[in-house]
Structure 1
Amino acid sequence: MKITSNKNIIFINTVASLILNVVTIIGGFIMPRLIIGSLGSEVNGLYLSLEQYLNYFSLAEGGLGGIVVASLYKPLFDGDIQKVSKIIVTVTKFFRKIAMLFIIYMLLVAIAYPLLVKNSFSYYYVFTLTIILGVNFFIRYYSMLIWRMLLNADKKVYVTAFVQTFCLILEIIGFVVCIKIYPEIHIIKLITVFAYIIQLMILQKYVTKNYIIDYTESADNNLISQRWDGMGIMTAAFIHRNTDIVVLTIASSLSVVSVYSVYSMIVNAIRSIIASIVSGVTPSIGEQIAAGNVDTLKKAYDSYEFIMTYIVFLIYSTCSMLIVPFVRIYTNGVTDANYIQPAFAFIITLSQMMYSLREPTSTVIYAANHYKATSRYAYAEAIINIVLSLVLVYKMGLIGVAIGTVVSIGIRYFCHIYYLEKHIIYKKIHETIKLVGLFSIGFAIHYVSGYLYISKISVNYFSWVLYAVITTVIGLIIYTVISYVFYRQELTYFYKIIKSRSR
């Protein structure tokens, strides 16, 4: 089970993840629009709200997932079958207990939600939809997570990515057929359940065939106790993904939740593309840390940070100008909610940009298994996000929850930069501040230049694509000039990577 020595493994993992995310994005745009158009904004808001409430139980994991992946790097690198088996046995037993508790939680949500949340649907309608979504969550989370953690730690991200892509394509096809023949949200979500069952069967067969796991090994209780070290990280990530919709469900309406979900869908699609790069790089960074390659790690991080900053600013500054015109086209003909929210669109784009900028720091911290030491930053982000969102939502609505998110993410990003300097890479803080500051100036120039013509976009996809190409080219010029003047060496390295991969 020793990690394969392959100079192209990062590239393979990244490409596989990108393919998955492209398919995910396509499905993410097709399915919600068909639901909104065929079933209405309130149905869309209902199932999204229910999913968030069910997702709250994932906190019961206590951050174990990240701890497990970090703990697997070294035994996989050393080929220690006994240690790997002990970890898998420990996690399997733990998740079995959690799974039983989830069933109870799912039933409680199914019983209470129709009574506590204002909606126009029957009790039976909401109850049965909750059960279906709960089964979906159960299979996806507790049944497949163990195999994904093992494969990702073993630098086989491409395996899980290709399996997910295949099953997602099946789900999209089934969804489109169902929405045309019998548009009913319960049937649609049952199709998702079947797709996840297929995915589970494939992953389980692959692991059984390619790994030797001794299930007679005793559990490592120390590993379970370490999950609290990652609890803060998981809590912050969970709150980042779920708090806004839950707060809006309480303080607003399901139609507003639907509006939020459309913008969130777009920026999350972009973030998932950025995350594809991270998922391909993380296992290799973990291997370098396990091997004690500090100097190599620092050099790799400097290049990684520059490349990520360049990509993040280019993509998100372009998105900040194109997101509202896209939503206008995407929701054309929908009249049961106001989907045109320019201020909210800009702030939520900014928040996701800062989240993606933080990825390089998070990658190294998690790969080094520094969960406990950095958990205080995660808890701080979570508390700030919740408090600000609750305070501002009643006065500012969508904009209020977005402000809470962007402020909390920004504070934790700075804390991560500080921690890396002091404890892992010893990189000077001012170097990162300078990098982000210069690209922020580029963002402002890009935004102002694009704003002058972006309002001319007609309500059709062809016009939008044309302006998207123009806006992207302008961004490429601006950020490349900044890089050439201030980061010529890093830009040259970036160019060499692209050139070598194109051969």
Structure 2
Amino acid sequence: MSRQKGSINNLIWGVVSVIITSVVAFIIPRLFIVNYGSEVNGLLASIRQIYVYLALLEAGVGSASVVALYGPMGRGDKHSVNSILAATNHYYKKIGIIYALCIVVAGILYPFLLDTNIPYYICSLVIILQGAGSVMGYLVYGKYNMLLRVDNRSYVTIRLGMILSVLTDVVRIALVMNGQSIIEVQATYFFFGFLNMGYICWYIKKYYPWIDLSVKPDFEAISQKSSVFVHQISSLVFSHTDVLILTFVCGLKTVSIYTMYAAVYGILESAITITGNSVQSALGQTFNTDRVKFMKIQAAFETYYLAFVFSLFTVAGIFILPFMALYTAGADMNYVYAWIPVLFTLYQLMSYGRVTSNNIIGFAAEFKSTRWRAWLETAINLVVSLVCVFQFGIYGVLMGTVAAVFYRANDIILFANHRVLKQSAWPTYRRWIVNAVLLTLTILFFRYIPMNTDTYITLILNALWVSIVVFILFFGINSWTEKEARKTASGYLKNMLPMLPILKYFYK
């Protein structure tokens, strides 16, 4: 399969996955709030953060394997691929055993740390059931996900994840509506985890019969896992510390407020991540085989990636509060806070806007030389959040995140351009400035446009036409200001259009 065709499949299935899972997933939190209360919803959010941090046990093995596999996969070197996967498998089996033990310990101890009226045994069983699927991933099929990602077949896991996610949510909704306990609801994760494991193993056996994990492991190829691990710690602290701090300082109800906004922005995150990941493998292989070609593609990708990111957050900035008022109507507390979306938008923009530059650091395997920078980002986040949370509550933890990501986004942009690509960082900053000005002016403009958002139907209809206008505006302005990127993107678009399933028959 060509790199372009693989990227198209990744993107198409990614978009379909976001749309379907988002529609279904939006039903779940409201059902939990209405049927179990904000405290249970906050508990589930708090537990999810435990598993985010338990993921640190992976110690950078997966990401280091991905980077190590780019070159061999690009060259078709199957022996090296097998050696790297064998090393990954070796580490993953050890991690799976430790992970299982940590789940049991967390299930026993964590409920004692919570100030809640929820019974101990419920908290304990929910924790254990939530993490059982990850144990299977490490022990059985985790290394295969790395292979599919590098081989530009992420659409396989995306498609499978979409189907299983929908099935899981449908079953959970049915259980909640029929008054079943939260334990029975959470047990669905364990069941569908088995199905996920079975399909991935079958797919690898059918389409990659040459995979042989019995070869001598190439531990040297993934020796940078410890440096990758540092970056993962920084990323997780940046993304997930807020909920844990709020859990112990402000309580589970405040956590519920935070996670409601995080869930909405999480939909945007999924769309952005899928867009970036759909071409990451192709970019990574090109970086390691043809640097001149990569530079042209990178400039075009960054231009339209930033246009996409800023477009999404512009639409979110216009409609987040009306949506939250509708979505949480009838809840046991107020969820509408005017300044929360502002802080969320700031840190999400800087976080996802820096991805194109961060990818370059990953492609170049510059993990070790940037470790101290990741630690500094972590320190800024923790210190500012812990200082401010007692004074400003939910706003305080968001301030900490914004402060940390402001430093790190600039650091990543400068490092990627100056140290790796040996070029000026001004083109990247120019794109940021153009999009930031557009976002600010567009949101302010639509504040003065009267729109009826009192029902879901009117909200969706208004969001649709506004989204069309916003996307045309951002992509149009960026195409006008970035001529070289426009030419490069146009050339690739002409080649890719005949590969689109809906259009390929017109090109026969």
TM range (shorter): over 0.9
Deviation string, structure 1 residues 200-243 (Cα, Å, up to 9, x no partner): 11001111222222232223333454211201221122113311
After superposition, residues 97-136 of structure 1 pair within 5 angstroms as: 97-136=94-133
Deviation string, structure 1 residues 167-226 (Cα, Å, up to 9, x no partner): 122212212221222332211111122112101110011112222222322233334542
2:385 and 2:399 in contact (8 A); partners too: yes
Q: Which runs of 5+ in 1 are unaligned?
A: none
**TM-score, with structure 2 as normaliser:** 0.92
Query: 2:198 corresponds to which residue?
Result: 201
1:28 and 1:265 in contact (8 A); partners too: no
Query: 1:406 corresponds to which residue?
Result: 402
Distance 2:472 2:283 in 1: 31
Query: 2:173 corresponds to which residue?
Result: 176
2:224 and 2:367 in contact (8 A); partners too: no
2:243 and 2:255 in contact (8 A); partners too: yes
Deviation string, structure 1 residues 437-496 (Cα, Å, up to 9, x no partner): 122111111111112236x54431122123313432442454356335523454465567
Whether 2:357 is the aligned partner of 1:330: answer no
SS in 2 for 1:342: coil
Distance 1:131 1:446 in 2: 46
Pick from 478, 482, 497 the counterpart of residue 483 of structure 1: 478
Distance 2:472 2:80 in 1: 51
1:279 CA drift (Å): 1.0
Pick from 262, 265, 277 the counterpart of residue 264 of structure 1: 262
Q: Which amino acid is 1:45 matched to?
A: G
Distance 2:56 2:381 in 1: 17
Distance 2:32 2:441 in 1: 38
Q: Kindly tell me: are residues 131 and 418 of structure 1, through their superposed partners in 2, closer, same or farther at Cα, counting changes over 3 Å?
A: same
Whether 2:457 is the aligned partner of 1:459: answer no
Distance 2:178 2:90 in 1: 42
1:22 CA drift (Å): 2.1
Q: Kindly tell me: are residues 209 and 478 of structure 1, through their superposed partners in 2, closer, same or farther at Cα, counting changes over 3 Å?
A: closer
Whether 2:342 is the aligned partner of 1:367: answer no
Q: Percent identity?
A: 24
1:282 CA drift (Å): 0.7
Q: Kindly tell me: are residues 77 and 430 of structure 1, through their superposed partners in 2, closer, same or farther at Cα, counting changes over 3 Å?
A: closer
Query: 1:440 corresponds to which residue?
Result: 436
Distance 1:477 1:242 in 2: 33
Pick from 288, 297, 300 the counterpart of residue 290 of structure 1: 288
Distance 2:380 2:29 in 1: 30
Query: 1:340 corresponds to which residue?
Result: 336
Aligned length: 497
After superposition, residues 486-497 of structure 1 pair within 5 angstroms as: 486-491=481-486, 494=489
Deviation string, structure 1 residues 413-435 (Cα, Å, up to 9, x no partner): 11111112223323311221122
Q: Kindly tell me: are residues 74 and 52 of structure 1, through their superposed partners in 2, closer, same or farther at Cα, counting changes over 3 Å?
A: same
Query: 1:221 corresponds to which residue?
Result: 219
Deviation string, structure 1 residues 394-423 (Cα, Å, up to 9, x no partner): 111111111111221221111111112223
Pick from 69, 92, 95 the counterpart of residue 92 of structure 2: 95
1:73 CA drift (Å): 1.6
Q: Kindly tell me: are residues 376 and 21 of structure 1, through their superposed partners in 2, closer, same or farther at Cα, counting changes over 3 Å?
A: farther
Q: Kindly tell me: are residues 169 and 281 of structure 1, through their superposed partners in 2, closer, same or farther at Cα, counting changes over 3 Å?
A: same
Q: Which amino acid is 2:243 matched to?
A: I
Whether 2:164 is the aligned partner of 1:167: answer yes
Q: Which amino acid is 1:352 matched to?
A: Q
Q: Which amino acid is 1:252 matched to?
A: C
Q: Which moved more, 1:267-276 or 1:133-142?
A: 133-142
Q: Which moved more, 1:245-254 or 1:91-100?
A: 91-100
Whether 2:377 is the aligned partner of 1:381: answer yes
Whether 2:278 is the aligned partner of 1:280: answer yes
SS in 1 for 2:449: helix
2:93 and 2:138 in contact (8 A); partners too: no
**TM-score, with structure 1 as normaliser:** 0.93
Query: 2:506 corresponds to which residue?
Result: none
Distance 2:308 2:278 in 1: 16
Q: Which runs of 5+ in 2 are unaligned?
A: 504-508
2:344 and 2:398 in contact (8 A); partners too: yes
Q: Which moved more, 1:57-66 or 1:418-427?
A: 418-427
2:6 and 2:152 in contact (8 A); partners too: yes
1:24 and 1:168 in contact (8 A); partners too: yes
Distance 1:366 1:194 in 2: 35
1:35 and 1:44 in contact (8 A); partners too: yes
2:60 and 2:226 in contact (8 A); partners too: yes
Whether 2:239 is the aligned partner of 1:241: answer yes
SS in 2 for 1:8: helix
SS in 1 for 2:224: helix
SS in 2 for 1:380: helix
Q: Kindly tell me: are residues 490 and 78 of structure 1, through their superposed partners in 2, closer, same or farther at Cα, counting changes over 3 Å?
A: closer
Distance 1:439 1:12 in 2: 28
1:446 and 1:478 in contact (8 A); partners too: no
1:84 CA drift (Å): 1.6
SS in 2 for 1:187: helix
SS in 2 for 1:7: helix
Deviation string, structure 1 residues 261-286 (Cα, Å, up to 9, x no partner): 11001111101101111111111011
Distance 1:363 1:480 in 2: 22
Query: 1:316 corresponds to which residue?
Result: 313
Distance 1:141 1:443 in 2: 41
Q: Kindly tell me: are residues 104 and 8 of structure 1, through their superposed partners in 2, closer, same or farther at Cα, counting changes over 3 Å?
A: closer
